[in-house]
Chains A and B, each alone.
Chain A
Amino acid sequence: MLRIDDLHARLADEDKAILKGLTLAVAAGSVHAIMGPNGSGKSTLSFVLAGRDGYEVTAGGATLDGADLLAMEPEARAAAGLFLAFQYPVEIPGVGNMTFLRTALNAQRKARGEAEVSAADFLRLVRDKARALAIDAEMLKRPVNVGFSGGEKKRNEILQMAVLEPRMCILDETDSGLDVDAMRLVAEGVNRLRDAGRAFLVITHYQRLLDHIRPDVVHIMADGRIVRSGGPELALEVERGGYADILAEVA
């Protein structure tokens, strides 16, 4: 589903390379995890894939179902099924959470040539999904992420994912800042969406999330590339010994 091939990217206004030949393939139906030290480029990878300004791809590429992801506008990537749960969700004063969600869903449907969802159907859809994530009506009415606690913001990201039903979901440290119960709600939210047509790329620092969301493959990222890949046991190895041993081994 998602193929990243020898991707090199640098910051556009500073001469600083961050991704230095990253290769990764995520098949439909699978869950891949990426772990790696702070600053290794995990969020940068997610932003380059989602289409944020400020990066220059100097070599390599990325495709979603064979389509050249990097040639598309961010909104076209979203309509094609790519979703990024932000490490730091953005606050948008003045835009109600519900209005935002409905506008987003209908924009994607329109881009795919599908009919818009009626206000009544939408309300029902969101209520159900919000309940499962313990998001109350008050939070849905408030402006997007404004004044939300760290954990509420992360749950709101998963609500968006649940409503938009993307096919390729990238979760950037969605587990950071979550209490034990919220972690379980978020993991359940992810597991509910797991199916043969959908894939996940879960960026995390902790084994804990991976206890709930069993990954098929775990990658270790360091200095802009994947330096090791393995099964779930690789995450346990990181948890026990940190990155020093793994990095020493590949150096």
Chain B
Amino acid sequence: MGRSEPMAAAGARPAVPPLPGCPGWLARAREAAGRRAEVLGQPTRRDEYWRFTNPAPLLAAAAPDPSAAGPAAAGQGAAASAFAAIAALRLVFRDGILDAAASDDPRLGGVEILSLAEAARAGWAEDLYGRLEAQGQAPVPRPFAAANTAGAGAGLLIRARTRAARPVMIVYERSSGVSDAILHHCVKLDAGAELTLVEVGTGAARLSVVTEVEVGAGAVFHHVRAQGPEEGAVTASHLFARLEARAELRSFTLTANGALTRNEAFVELAGAGGLAHLAGAALGDGAFHHDDTVFVRHLAEGCESRQVFKKVLRHGATGVFQGKIHVLAQAQKTDGYQLSQALLLDEDARFLAKPELEIYADDVRCSHGSTAGAIEAGALFYLRARGLPRAEAEALLVLAFLAEAVAEIAEPDLARAVEALLGDWIGRHRG
């Protein structure tokens, strides 16, 4: 790491800005994170996990102006409308600020929802805020996450005590041209609880969002994100999750457009019999750089992990996948799977992959695969020979390519919303 320069992201602001109403434990967590960020320093292209992605847009003093990337995408609002039919409790963040007036009443059966400004009433979050992030700094540093913990101005503290009556949906909106937002969420599922969290939208011209999730014994956490579709936006997201025995985490992320998106996940299977499925579908065109950096650590026996990441790239777009399955000696009977694939729609698109297995247990089943290729000519001809126009045949094959990732979404209505967004994107990016 470049330790010489202090962390400047995001934007030129103090590392630990004041947060009104902040309880002592939160102030201490923020300050500790500020020190952590300073020690970690700024990432550079020489760092092992930044070779494929230039962090400059995340480090720049000012956020980019997405309107400079051309007229706002025709898909504006497409994300929100695709999810309109989902009966969820909605919480709206506009340019990184919770818009209570635009949000639903946060009372929900089985769940406690507070904003970061109400942290004084969420003593339980003391054991979570910044803790999972700090643990996730080794073996690979994640400086933007530390800076986020120190500097986040808003976020949600969600605790599911039993089965949530409805999904919780965070809607990210962006109103001003140049907004630079840092959001930090903590999600805790008590033993046996169930919660579905949906995140939709772009949120800011530049957004850093960290989500720390603790999934208690036997609890089930479903997570579906739809990032985009703003052409010029810059996003850094981090998901830190820790699963107790028999806990289940299923996280799916759709990314459509965006100048730079770096999605990091750090998941620890800490109790026996846990399950973690991480999946993603990314579609990009032109000035699009999409990076999934995924680290799954098996600490306990008999856990299953799955990574399924698919990217559709064209017109100079770049996709990056860095994924590791790390199996410690005690994690016998691990079932680990990792797949990363890119569909390159033309010769300008690039896919850079770094799939890794690091296994210290001897009785495990782990496999990984990574491929990049064009649309299969034989399949395309077969469809056209049956009467499908070229564009329609290509669209069908793009959806077919992504189907395996979309299949990781456990809830059919959320899968349909994602499919609608995929269809919408493909429809607008033909020819």
Q: Are A90 and B396 in contact (CB under 8 A)?
A: no
B385 touches A107 (CB 8 A): no
- Asked if A164 contacts B386 (CB within 8 A), the reply is yes
Q: Could you tell me if B378 and A90 are in contact, using CB atoms closer than 8 angstroms?
A: yes
Min CB gap B406→A, angstroms: 10
A50, A79, A86, A94 interface centre (most CB from chain B within 10 Å): A94
A151 at the interface (CB under 8 A from B): no
Given A93-B400, A95-B400, do A103 and B388 touch, yes or no (CB 8 Å)? yes
Mask: chain B, 372-392; 1 = CB below 8 Å from A; 0 = not: 000001110111111111101
Report how far A91 CA is from B376 CA in the complex, Å: 11
Interfacial chain B residues near A91, Cβ < 8 Å: 379
Across the two chains, which residue of chain B brings its CB closest to A112?
B387
| Alpha-carbon gap, A95 to B396, bound state (A) | 7
Cα separation A103 to B384 with both chains bound (whole Å) = 11
CB contacts under 8 Å to B, within A24-76, are: 50-53, 73-75
The yes or no answer to B100 lying at the interface (CB within 8 A) is no
B387 contacts A111, CB within 8 Å? Answer: yes
Known contacts A92-B400, A94-B401, A95-B397; A104/B378 CB under 8 A: no
By the criterion CB–CB under 8 Å, are A78 and B384 in contact? yes
A164 touches B400 (CB 8 A): no
Inter-chain contact A94/B400, CB cutoff 8 Å? yes
Residues in A neighbouring B379, C-beta threshold 8 A: 90-92
In the bound complex, CA of A79 to CA of B392 (Å): 14
Partner of B382, one of A79, A92, A99, A164: A92
Contacting residues, chain A, for B382 (C-beta < 8 A): 86, 89-90, 92
Cβ-defined contact, A103 with B400, below 8 A: no
Count CB-based A-B contacts (< 8 Å).
78
How distant is the Cα of A107 from the Cα of B387 in the complex, in angstroms?
6
* B384 closest partner in A (C-beta): A74
The number of chain A residues with a CB under 8 A from chain B is 30
Q: How far is the CA of A142 from the CA of B62 in the complex (A)?
A: 51
Whether the Cβ atoms of A107 and B401 lie closer than 8 Å is: no
Whether, in the assembled complex, B403 has its beta carbon less than 8 Å from a beta carbon of chain A, the answer is yes
Which residue of A52, A53, A78 contacts B387 across the interface (Cβ within 8 Å)? A78
Interface of B is mostly: helix
Judging by beta carbons under 8 Å apart, are B399 and A50 in contact? no
CB distance from A52 to the nearest CB of B (A): 5
**A213 close to B (CB within 8 Å):** no
> How far is A147 from B386 in the complex, measured between Cα atoms in Å?
20
Interface membership of B404, Cβ < 8 A = yes
Q: How far is the CA of A84 from the CA of B401 in the complex (A)?
A: 25
Residues in A87-111 with C-beta less than 8 Å from chain B: 89-95, 99-100, 103-105, 107-108, 111
- Contact: A78 with B386, CB < 8 Å? yes
The answer to whether A50 and B386 touch (CB under 8 A), given A92-B379, A94-B400, is no
**B388 & A52 in contact (Cβ 8 Å cutoff):** no
Closest residue of chain A to B388 (Cβ to Cβ) is A107
Question: In the complex, which residue of chain B has the Cβ closest to the Cβ of A89?
Answer: B382
Q: Are B383 and A53 in contact (CB under 8 A)?
A: no
The answer to whether A75 and B381 touch (CB under 8 A), given A93-B400, A95-B397, is no
Report the separation of the CA atoms of residues A52 and B379 in the bound assembly, to the nearest whole angstrom. 11
Residues of B247-268 at the interface with A, using a CB-CB cut-off of 8 Å, are: none
Closest A residue to B399 by beta carbon equals A94
CB B349 to nearest CB in A, in angstroms, measures 20
Complex formed: what's the CA distance from A103 to B392 in Å? Answer: 9
Q: Are A75 and B399 in contact (CB under 8 A)?
A: no
Closest to A163 in B: B386
Chain A residues within an 8 Å CB radius of B399: 94-95
Question: At the interface, yes or no: A160 with Cβ under 8 Å from chain B?
Answer: yes
Q: Is the CB of A107 within 8 A of B389?
A: yes
Complex Cα–Cα for A103 and B391 (A): 13
* Contact assessment for B400 and A75 in the assembled complex, using a CB-CB cutoff below 8 Å: no
A160–B386 CB distance below 8 A: yes
Contact with B381, one of A53, A99, A107, A108 (Cβ below 8 angstroms): A53
Chain A: minimal CB distance from B234 (Å): 31
* Chain A residues, Cβ within 8 Å of B378: 90
Q: How far is the CA of A75 from the CA of B386 in the complex (A)?
A: 7
A90 contacts which chain B residues (CB < 8 A)? 378-379, 381-382
Interface of chain A residues 114 through 149 with chain B (CB within 8 A): 143
B397 touching A75 by the CB < 8 A rule? no
Residue interface mask A155-194, B partner, CB < 8 A = 1:
0000010001000000000000000000000000000000
CA distance A89 to B383 in the complex (A): 11
Min distance, Cβ B63 to any Cβ of chain A, angstroms: 38
Cα of A79 to Cα of B387 in the assembled complex, Å = 6
Is there contact, CB below 8 Å, between A75 and B384?
Answer: yes
Contact, CB under 8 Å: A92 / B397: yes
With both beta carbons as reference points, the residue of chain A lying nearest to B402 in the complex is identified as: A94
Instruction: Out of A52, A53, A94, A104, name the residue touching B386 (CB < 8 Å).
Output: A104
Q: Roughly how many angstroms separate A108 CA and B386 CA in the complex, as a whole number?
A: 8
From A52, which residue of chain B is reached at the shortest CB distance? B381
Which chain A residue shows the least CB distance to B382? A90
> Nearest chain-A residue to B386 (Cβ)?
A104
- Nearest CB on B from A228, distance (A): 29
Does A103 contact B396, Cβ atoms closer than 8 Å? yes
Contacts of A74 in B (CB 8 A): 381, 384-385
Known A-B contacts A73-B390, A75-B390; the reply to A104 vs B400 at CB < 8 A is no
Q: With CB as the reference atom, state the residue of chain A lying closest to B396.
A: A95
Q: Closest Cβ of chain B: how far from A190's Cβ, in Å?
A: 18
A75 lies within 8 A of B404 (CB): no
**Complex: chain B residue closest to A86, CB-CB:** B382
Knowing that A99-B396, A104-B387, A107-B388 are A-B contacts, what are 14 other residue pairs whose CB atoms are under 8 Å apart, sorted by A's residue number? Answer: A50-B385, A73-B390, A75-B384, A78-B387, A89-B382, A92-B379, A92-B383, A95-B396, A100-B386, A100-B396, A105-B387, A107-B387, A107-B389, A160-B386
> Could you jot down 10 A-B contacts, CB within 8 Å?
A75-B385, A78-B385, A78-B386, A94-B399, A94-B402, A94-B403, A100-B383, A103-B396, A107-B392, A111-B387
Query: Which residues of B are at the interface with A, using a C-beta cutoff of 8 A?
Result: 377-379, 381-390, 392-393, 396-397, 399-404
Q: Which residues of A are at the interface with B, using a C-beta cutoff of 8 A?
A: 50-53, 73-75, 77-79, 84, 86, 89-95, 99-100, 103-105, 107-108, 111, 143, 160, 164
User: A-B pairs with the 8 shortest C-beta distances?
Assistant: A94-B400, A78-B387, A108-B387, A104-B386, A94-B403, A90-B382, A74-B384, A107-B387
